[in-house]
A and B are shown apart, each in its own frame.
Chain A
Amino acid sequence: MQLKNRTLRRQLSLATCALLTGIPGQASSADWVVDAGVMSYSESDRVSAVKTIATGQRLTEETTISVTVLVDTLTGASPNGASAATTSQTFTTASGTAYTATEKETPLRDFEDTRTAISSSWEQVLNRLFRLKLGADISTEDDYDSLGLNASLSRDFNNRLTTVTVGAAITQDTITPSGGTPVERSATDGTTLAIQSKEEEKSTTDLLLGVTQILSRTTLTQLNYSYSLVDGYMSDPYKIVSEVDAVTGNTTGYRYEKRPDSRIRQSVNWTTAHHLTEDVVHFTYRYFWDDWGIDSHTFDLKYRYEIGAGHYLQPQVRYYMQSAADFYRHSLVDSEVLPNYLSSDQRLGEMSSYTIGLKYGFPVFTDGRLSLRIAYMQQSGDSSPSDAIGSQKQVDLFPTLEAMIVNVNFNIPF
């Protein structure tokens, strides 16, 4: 009886809260709210990924417990780091079979991987002003395991118009490529492999400071600063760099890449949400910099247009630009002194990308919500850099990447 009445009171509180905030559906007496989604990501002729994610959240007056399970399946091919050349290039794939990139084609590496991740968090209201959040996450895939812990503390100020959050996280990763990690910077003909180790480690410490400010009844703004220190193995064990002849530009060999074993990343993130009469505009600007020489700017604009009866359309535009890491090289010249660090991973090169997307959301069943999102992303860099030599001038040294992204998301209280 006692238990029943307590439940009654909590359910009444939830229902009243829903009534007064005018959010239909939240009045549900549900203990758990489940979010399930599927995302499909496909690059033209390259990677295709299917991500399935389910989050369960249990909300009570003072505690929020959340558990997320994610399964990612990636298949396809990604660049192996070697430059396109005017002649065909042959590599041995992970399965031991030979693969030949035809002339002017960017060499790829086939892969297939499944990542399973579980993360959970527990958020507790400590008193009228303080909230504590603790979280843990673990993920595993064929050649990569990760374990993380995080904590954050928030305090409200100024009649709850201001919230300050401090947070910290540590993550420990283990990298175990099949056959071991190659000796960094070692020459390879694409078939033999000098093993550096069976297993490598990486540890990350993140610190976060955030301020959320309610500016008016219609405008909310948030400023976050994050500092992240990474130590350990950050090279991509599957990526190589082409070595070319100083005069002809023809490929003469390949070397495994090597990245520094420490990295300090910092970022400032500014988000503002403004409610118009019914619609909402979201704007985010992010500035990121690290001690590898990368600076990046991200601009993201979303407009949520309320059609009525719970239906909405949300167009999105996103623009991203970054400078190259100091050690980024599209290729090496075989006569030069071997640099300490080298990588031809395009994600470390100078590039820009834009994304345009459209999301459509609507209510389903009594309390559920379904949303569909479709987006197109294009990433490009300098395809014909000025330091290209000889035959390199005839090939695309930074192929443009195009991808379609489809998300389906489903939210229902149980």
Chain B
Amino acid sequence: MGSLTVEQQAGYWVGRFKAMASPCEVLMEASNRSDAVALAQSAYDEVKRIEQKFSRYRDDNIIYKINTSQGRAVEVDDEMANLLDYADHCYQLSEGRFDITSGLLRQAWKFDGSANLPPMELIERLKSSISWKKVDWQRPYITLPSGMEIDLGGIGKEYAVDTSINLLKQKTAASLLINFGGDLAVTAPRKSGGGWCVAVDSPDRVGSSTGQEIELKQGALATSGDAQRYLLKEGVRYSHILDPTTGWPVVDAPRSVTVFAASCTEAGILASLSMMHGSGAEAFLNEQQIKSWVVR
């Protein structure tokens, strides 16, 4: 825990650490080790800051305070308010498919590759406590009805990539890539004028390449989908993507969707939303003219 390593590769430095339950790396065209260490440390500090501030697994942060508020209004700071405004926009734009109150569904759904579907009545009971519409959000006050929970897990990692990128951009003009568990962003083209080569993982062979290599000069990639997390019953593969409007996993969702966008947060939302469209994911991505890679 807390260990940060920095090593030199051919033409760049790489800093590695673990945060948000994911392997993280920062690739930097830094001129020397001390610069590289300082940059990697900044990214590490930033992702830790966000993890501590927004993780639902802690009992000392704003998420805990809101989730245990028992229907009382809680005042939040600007950053949390910006995230709630954003979640509100995403809820509206996705017609309820992106809902930060939907985390409760995890109590019903355990994606262990088995055929164990949860009882209907449990899903129905949980659904009554899920709906962003029931939350009274009037910046900077949030009032969450008793029994409901919010969870920023759906955007936290991507948001951490973006805030870290913004932070490092202010410290250096050098090209760098931040990769937090597969969600990544690049600041600028490399000195050579080229980009960073990124391989899109195959969901079936984690850690190996599908053979799709993307050269990223700027912008961000985020991936939704996970080979290990699904249920298989009577030939139907239930993805771990839950639709809060039904309480059920999305059927016929792609194994994974990787989206390119200007920011990692935007890419992440687009990837998740496309998964929600199930068999219509590709059509959705095409309609919006999103650069994406879909694995079925």
In angstroms, Cα B67 to Cα A120, docked, is: 49
Asked if residues B284 and A24 are in contact (CB atoms below 8 Å), the reply is no
Residues A5 and B288 in contact in the complex (CB < 8 Å), given A12-B269, A19-B86, A24-B139: yes
Asked if residues B173 and A159 are in contact (CB atoms below 8 Å), the reply is yes
Q: Which A residues are CB-close (under 8 A) to B270?
A: 9, 12
Q: Which B residues are CB-close (under 8 A) to A2?
A: 287
Of residues 16 through 47 on chain A, the ones whose CB sits less than 8 Å from some CB of chain B are 16-20, 22, 24, 27, 29
Total CB contacts across the A-B interface at under 8 A: 76
Asked if residues B265 and A16 are in contact (CB atoms below 8 Å), the reply is yes
Asked if residues B82 and A12 are in contact (CB atoms below 8 Å), the reply is no
Asked if residues B287 and A19 are in contact (CB atoms below 8 Å), the reply is no
Q: Which A residues are CB-close (under 8 A) to B81?
A: 24
Which B-chain residue is minimally distant from A4 (CB atoms)? B287
Q: Which B residues are CB-close (under 8 A) to A366?
A: 139
Interface size class of A (residues with CB under 8 A): 20 to 34
Asked if residues A12 and B89 are in contact (CB atoms below 8 Å), the reply is yes
Of residues 140 through 179 on chain B, the ones whose CB sits less than 8 Å from some CB of chain A are 140, 159, 162-163, 166, 170-171, 173
B199 within 8 A of A: no
B108 within 8 A of A: no
Asked if residues B163 and A20 are in contact (CB atoms below 8 Å), the reply is yes
Which B-chain residue is minimally distant from A158 (CB atoms)? B173
Residues A15 and B89 in contact in the complex (CB < 8 Å), given A20-B163, A22-B78: yes
- 0/1 interface trace, chain B 76-106, chain A, CB 8 Å (1 if under): 0011011101100110111000000000000
In angstroms, Cα B94 to Cα A358, docked, is: 44
B258 within 8 A of A: no
Which B-chain residue is minimally distant from A2 (CB atoms)? B287
Of residues 341 through 379 on chain A, the ones whose CB sits less than 8 Å from some CB of chain B are 366
Asked if residues B173 and A20 are in contact (CB atoms below 8 Å), the reply is no
Which A-chain residue is minimally distant from B265 (CB atoms)? A16
Asked if residues A12 and B90 are in contact (CB atoms below 8 Å), the reply is yes
In angstroms, Cα B267 to Cα A16, docked, is: 10
Q: Which B residues are CB-close (under 8 A) to A215?
A: none
Asked if residues A29 and B89 are in contact (CB atoms below 8 Å), the reply is yes
Asked if residues A13 and B266 are in contact (CB atoms below 8 Å), the reply is yes
Which B-chain residue is minimally distant from A15 (CB atoms)? B89
Residues A15 and B79 in contact in the complex (CB < 8 Å), given A20-B162, A20-B166: no
Q: Which B residues are CB-close (under 8 A) to A6?
A: 287-289
A11 within 8 A of B: yes
B24 within 8 A of A: no
Q: Which A residues are CB-close (under 8 A) to B173?
A: 158-159, 161
- 0/1 interface trace, chain B 197-214, chain A, CB 8 Å (1 if under): 000000000000000000
B38 within 8 A of A: no
A8 within 8 A of B: yes
Among A12, A159, A309, which residue has its beta carbon within 8 angstroms of that of B93? A12
Among B83, B171, B290, which residue has its beta carbon within 8 angstroms of that of A19? B83
Q: Which B residues are CB-close (under 8 A) to A159?
A: 173, 188
Nearest Cβ on chain A to B261's Cβ, whole angstroms: 8
Which B-chain residue is minimally distant from A363 (CB atoms)? B139
Asked if residues A24 and B90 are in contact (CB atoms below 8 Å), the reply is no
- 0/1 interface trace, chain B 259-288, chain A, CB 8 Å (1 if under): 001110110011000000000000010011
In angstroms, Cα B45 to Cα A283, docked, is: 35
Q: How many residues of B contact A (CB 8 A)?
A: 34
Asked if residues A24 and B82 are in contact (CB atoms below 8 Å), the reply is yes
In angstroms, Cα B284 to Cα A12, docked, is: 15
Nearest Cβ on chain B to A5's Cβ, whole angstroms: 4
In angstroms, Cα B91 to Cα A11, docked, is: 12
In angstroms, Cα B188 to Cα A243, docked, is: 70
In angstroms, Cα B284 to Cα A1, docked, is: 10
Of residues 136 through 161 on chain A, the ones whose CB sits less than 8 Å from some CB of chain B are 158-159, 161
Q: Which A residues are CB-close (under 8 A) to B159?
A: 19
In angstroms, Cα B174 to Cα A161, docked, is: 13
Give the most central of A19, A29, A161: most B CB within 10 Å: A19
Residues A5 and B284 in contact in the complex (CB < 8 Å), given A12-B266, A12-B270, A16-B265: yes
Residues A19 and B265 in contact in the complex (CB < 8 Å), given A27-B86, A27-B89: yes
Nearest Cβ on chain B to A396's Cβ, whole angstroms: 54
Which A-chain residue is minimally distant from B166 (CB atoms)? A20
Residues A16 and B79 in contact in the complex (CB < 8 Å), given A24-B139, A29-B89: no
In angstroms, Cα B262 to Cα A22, docked, is: 16
In angstroms, Cα B262 to Cα A9, docked, is: 12
In angstroms, Cα B266 to Cα A217, docked, is: 24
Nearest Cβ on chain B to A31's Cβ, whole angstroms: 15
Which A-chain residue is minimally distant from B94 (CB atoms)? A8
Nearest Cβ on chain B to A125's Cβ, whole angstroms: 13
Nearest Cβ on chain A to B62's Cβ, whole angstroms: 16
In angstroms, Cα B261 to Cα A158, docked, is: 23
Which A-chain residue is minimally distant from B189 (CB atoms)? A159
Which A-chain residue is minimally distant from B92 (CB atoms)? A29
Q: Which B residues are CB-close (under 8 A) to A309?
A: 140
In angstroms, Cα B91 to Cα A29, docked, is: 13
Nearest Cβ on chain A to B266's Cβ, whole angstroms: 4
In angstroms, Cα B163 to Cα A151, docked, is: 36
Nearest Cβ on chain B to A228's Cβ, whole angstroms: 36
Other contacts beyond A12-B270, A19-B86: 14, CB < 8 A = A5-B284, A5-B288, A8-B93, A11-B89, A13-B261, A16-B262, A16-B269, A18-B86, A20-B163, A20-B263, A24-B81, A24-B82, A27-B85, A29-B89
